[in-house]
Amino acid sequence: MAGRKVWGLDLETVILPFYVASNTVGDTNVPHSALGAPIRLAIALDGSIRFGKSGRPLTRIAKELAEQVRIMREQYIAGLGQFTEQVRQFNPSGYEAEIALCVQAGKPIIEHDRQILSAYITAQAEQAAAAAEAKAKAKAEAEAKAKDRGKVKVTA
């Protein structure tokens, strides 16, 4: 069974071991209670337990731990941006060449997807038109039958 995710990272196999190690070397100071009981019941503002549509109680990640993960995520994203900018500054021609290669490689995939989507939309439109035509025909037939029932036949 897949574990609980926090910002897309597995809580049990990635987040908790990382913060235990980080606390051990003194880089972070995540409370032991947040690491010992990282999953908590979700509590409403009135103090009651929150339940989902399925009737199960909702859970949340301990606030202190969630905050540390948010900081880690922001630092990671900042590092990605910084690396990208360094490469663009020190090797602009290489960066632009890589973009051109990616765009060129993506063109046939985008065109293929566009063709498949266009064919699907056309088929859906044809199906909807056929259904509307069948509905109109059935309605016209029902009206004609109702009209015929309303006529009184006089025989002499």
Q: 3-state DSSP call for residue 39?
A: strand
CB atoms under 10 Å from CB of 106, counted, come to 10
The predicted-structure confidence for 31-79, as pLDDT tens digits, reads as follows: 999 999 999 999 999 999 999 999 999 999 999 999 999 999 999 999 9
Is pLDDT larger for residue 11 or for residue 144?
11
Domain boundaries, the chain: 5-90, 93-140
User: pTM value?
Assistant: 0.64
Q: 3-state DSSP call for residue 36?
A: helix
Distance CA 63, CA 32 (A): 13
